[in-house]
Structure 1
Amino acid sequence: MQHWFGYLQLIFEGALLTAQLTVLGCALALFMAIIAGLARMSKVKAISIAATCYIEFFRGTSIFVQLFWAYFVLPLVGIPVSPFLAGVLALGLNVGAYGAEVVRGAVQSIDKGQSEAALALNLTPYQRMRHVILPQAFVIMLPTFGNNAIELLKGTAVVSLISLADMTFQSQVVRAQTGSTAIPFLTILILYFMMAMVISRGIRALERHLSDGLDVTK
């Protein structure tokens, strides 16, 4: 038993790294989703085209390639990145591209009467978006954002390809050293599930909290 305790501790250390990647990756993904989603609706053509290029590029290419580019290619052009930073960048930018379409769809789903009422109150475009449109649209976005966050969590396993010691990497180490496949992979299966449940329940609680007093009917 003492033998397995040490190996399981390695997996738990990897789980902590997985959690850190998930939190930071989700933060970057949320930021990029809001920026790119709103930029794609911009009336300034250059901004809209730039946002569209970002979205289509990261949705249309493999996250494996994006991860390798971040880790192996960026240092060649004078931008050194650690394995951890490369993982956060690849995960956040990839999921952010999918989230951008969620933002665009949610904002466009808000009844136009809301904008017209805000315009009648002489609010600026920024004030209309900040105080009227986004609070309602954000509630609509949350369920899909929760799904995206869970997908990002599961996607963290790709960082093991650049020898970043997340829990998938550590489980492979344990398997190689013990010859057992069932125990290490059953352990990370449970850990992934528990983390996904935390995200799911957190998103639901936040959705209920933000929905209070808001009319998000289309």
Structure 2
Amino acid sequence: MTWPLFTEWFLPGVWITVQVTLGSAALALLVSFVIGIARSSRLWIVRFVAGCYFEVFRGTSALVFMLWMAFAFPLMFGWVFVPMAAGILALGLTYGAYGSEIVRGSLQSVPAAQREAGIALSFTRTQRLRRIELPQAWPEMVPPFNNLLIELLKGTALVSVISVADMTFAANLSRLASNESAPAYTLLLVSYFVLAFVMTRGMRLVERRAKAGIGQRPEPRRGLRAARKPLPKGESAQAGPQSAGGVG
């Protein structure tokens, strides 16, 4: 890949990929909490509607839904989406359905005694969610949300099919222009890895702050070797299992 191809095509494509990822992630996060909380509702009609949404988008291909949004939706309803908006909507709604299961499961992991305490204090459902359940469930949501965010980043490559000039689209154009496949696709792989690594570091920071917010100590960072705990005075490092049991 030549330098002009890199600066004029690939770098703008990286920025478009970041925009699609952030826009889709914001929509997916909103959908995750709305559908996840609705699936925990006491009203059966609310659970039914939220469950239908979850089942439909879980069983639908994100690529097919993206193509439907870009090409079939305008013919059926007369409302045309620009390709980037169609890609963001398709990814956000699809991955939001997966995120709703994370929210629902994390809310159910909150001890029942905590919810009962909120009821005893005459808290409304909204107050219990805001003051008791969500603060305790949020630290449990962050690690699976991190995995879902990485999957979303990799899923943004699908927008190249509807002519969004992301970095996958730019890599394909660079390959066609330079007739060199190896440099273009190797750079594409490295770029996805770098973006995923940066996002993972950011989510680790969010996780540490979320745990600190509810008084949990974050796990200490460990190197390749586990830190050895100092032995009590008088014990030998060579002591085996037989020394603990003694001889009868």
TM-score > 0.5, shorter chain as reference:
yes
For 1:115, the equivalent position in structure 2 comes to 115
Structure with more relative contact order (C-alpha pairs < 8 Å, separation 6 or more) = 1
CA contact under 8 A between 1:136 and 1:215: conserved in structure 2? no
Further displaced range: 207-216 or 184-193: 207-216
Further displaced range: 44-53 or 147-156: 44-53
For 1:105, the equivalent position in structure 2 comes to 105
Tell me the distance in 1 between the aligned counterparts of 2:125 and 2:44: 17
Seen in structure 2, the aligned counterparts of structure 1 residues 184 and 41 have a Cα distance that, compared at 3 Å, is same
For 1:51, the equivalent position in structure 2 comes to 50
Shift of 1:135: 1.1
Cα-Cα RMSD: 1.2
Shift of 1:78: 2.1
For 2:20, the equivalent position in structure 1 comes to 21
For 2:189, the equivalent position in structure 1 comes to 189
Spell out the pairing of 1:206-217 with structure 2 (5 A cutoff).
206-214=206-214
Tell whether 2:17 aligns with 1:4.
no
CA contact under 8 A between 1:27 and 1:92: conserved in structure 2? yes
CA contact under 8 A between 1:14 and 1:166: conserved in structure 2? yes
CA-to-aligned-CA distance 1:41-77 (integer Å, 9 cap, x gap): 2122222111111111111011111101111122121
Aligned residues: 214
> 2:156 is matched by which residue type in structure 1?
T
> 1:24 is matched by which residue type in structure 2?
G
CA-to-aligned-CA distance 1:147-174 (integer Å, 9 cap, x gap): 1011000000011111110000000000
CA-to-aligned-CA distance 1:151-207 (integer Å, 9 cap, x gap): 000000011111110000000000001110111111111111111011111111011
Tell me the distance in 2 between the aligned counterparts of 1:215 and 1:114: 16
Shift of 1:112: 0.8
Tell me the distance in 2 between the aligned counterparts of 1:70 and 1:138: 32
Shift of 1:215: 5.8
In structure 1, list runs of 5 or more residues that go unmatched. Answer: none
Tell me the distance in 1 between the aligned counterparts of 2:62 and 2:11: 25
Shift of 1:213: 4.4
Runs of 4 or more, structure 1, over 4 Å off, are: none
Spell out the pairing of 1:16-95 with structure 2 (5 A cutoff).
16-76=15-75, 77-95=77-95
